Amino acid sequence: MARTLEADYLVVGAGAMGLAFTDTLVHESDATVVVVDRNDQPGGHWTTAYPFVRLHQPSAYYGVNSRGLGSDTVDQFGLNAGYYELASGAEVCAYFDAVMTQHLLPTGRVTYLPMSEYLGDGRVRTFGGEDIEVRARRVVTTRVEVVVPSMRRPSYDIADGVHVVPPNSLPRLPDPRDRYVVVGAGKTAMDSCLWLLRHGIAPERLTWIKPRESWVLDRAAIQPGRQFAKHTIGDFANQLAAVREAESLPDLFERLEDKGCLQRIDRSVEPTMYRCAILSQAELSELRRVTDVVRMGHVRAIEPDRIVLDDGVREVDGSVLYIDCSADGLGKEPVTTIFDGDHIALQTVRTCQPAFSAAVIAHVETAYPDDDARNRLCRPVPYPHVPVDWLRMMLIFNENQLQWFADPDMMAWVDAARLNALHHVTANVSERARDRIISMLTSELPAVNEKLEALLASAG
């Protein structure tokens, strides 16, 4: 007979969003929570990520609201020199473990079931085979499941004798190769190219199979600290100005690039991808050293001495190692209502900030009386895939912000939230300057949203 657990909430997944939600919920209410996770430790995809992975946003913006991540210092060396630290994957895993063991479990209101599978309808099966029934008022799930290369086989055919590895294997390779071929266009591929260059692989020995070019964000504009406040505010003002001034979608992206709001590795190729990736100027310069970039679509098969792609065949010779970075990390699930009866679907409510979004959703759950009020404050922002998603994300986040600005209690919470990027800006300016920023946004966002809607309509 299945054991029964009673709780107010059943949270499925102990990744960044699940833990950020649980942390805020537990600290702002007397709720009881059961957290079910298929991994043996908290951290979600971080537990299987490649060993040289780092956050690509400052550590200050990541984790849970009640506990800081990192030492709040500026890096002095490397490609992130001059900017606030980026936690390593190992640091993130250790941090989430501490959140669970030092913050959540000691409350006595959180039950953690690692190595367990959620079967639906409140049913959980543990690694040891025990069946548990969780009776909860709400079931909380994460709408997007991050998939990294080590979690699945490549989608293309691989002939016998061809050596294809995920990025996880790079630091453990026993012998060098004549050529290294990186497959994929996203942040994992960028990280892999940078890792190889950092460890002495000459650019001439690198081939980058890059089916798409991506817009990326500039890390200089996404920094906490007083010294960056003016730059960060200026970047957001430039985004609004670019939208107001744009005469078409192509013109908008040209203006965003001219103003430094978006950037690309190869300026000669029109980007068809946008995933919120962030690079420093030093990282951009390094990646531009890789000149053997293959733009012949996606890989269909890798055979001895050649790569079969959508648009042709690329010959290769010598000893070759292929690094598969082609996993679609965010998936393509459409957005859905966040608060819906006995279910909460965690999604982003602020562009490119999943942990902060989950904390917002938890706060709204505890502080507002019904799902209609909650959903007005938390419209889901779609995860980005293509450049036009930049507009869709900005439009919905602006609408969320206007709702928050109109509610003094909500605005006070958002303004004080550690995970909120804007908090780190307003905390480093005078109260008068902060009020001017909020006033400017409140007055300008409606017109900007009208222009965003017009530009989206022109896209069809």
User: Whole-prediction pTM value?
Assistant: 0.95
Average pLDDT over every residue of 268-285:
97
SS3 382: coil
Which of 108-117, 141-150, 223-232, 372-381 comes out lowest in average pLDDT?
141-150
Query: Are β-strands 273-279 and 116-120 bridged in parallel, bridged antiparallel, or unpaired?
Result: unpaired
| Percent of the chain whose predicted confidence (pLDDT) is above 90 | 86
Residue 278 · residue 221 · CB < 8 Å: no
Rounded Cα gap, residues 375 and 379, in angstroms: 6
Rounded Cα gap, residues 29 and 57, in angstroms: 29
pLDDT surpassing 90 at residue 418:
yes
What pLDDT was estimated at residue 150?
Answer: 57
pLDDT, one tens digit per residue, over 178-202 is 999 999 999 999 999 999 999 999 9
Report CA 339 to chain centroid distance, whole Å: 22
Rounded Cα gap, residues 262 and 271, in angstroms: 11
Residue 302 · residue 157 · CB < 8 Å: yes
Q: Measuring CA to CA, which residue among 302, 12, 55, 331 is closest to residue 142?
A: 12
- Backbone φ and ψ for 163, nearest 5 degrees, come out as -100, 105
Let me know how long the chain is.
460
Rounded Cα gap, residues 25 and 155, in angstroms: 39
Rounded Cα gap, residues 196 and 52, in angstroms: 11
Average pLDDT over every residue of 27-45:
97
pLDDT, one tens digit per residue, over 302-335 is 999 999 999 999 999 999 999 999 977 666 788 9
pLDDT, one tens digit per residue, over 73-92 is 999 999 999 999 999 999 99
Residue 111 · residue 34 · CB < 8 Å: yes
Domain 155-213+265-324, CATH among 3.40.50.2300, 3.65.10.10, 3.40.718.10, 3.50.50.60: 3.50.50.60
> Where do the domains of the chain lie?
155-213+265-324
Which sign does the torsion angle of CA 108, 110, 111, 114 carry?
negative
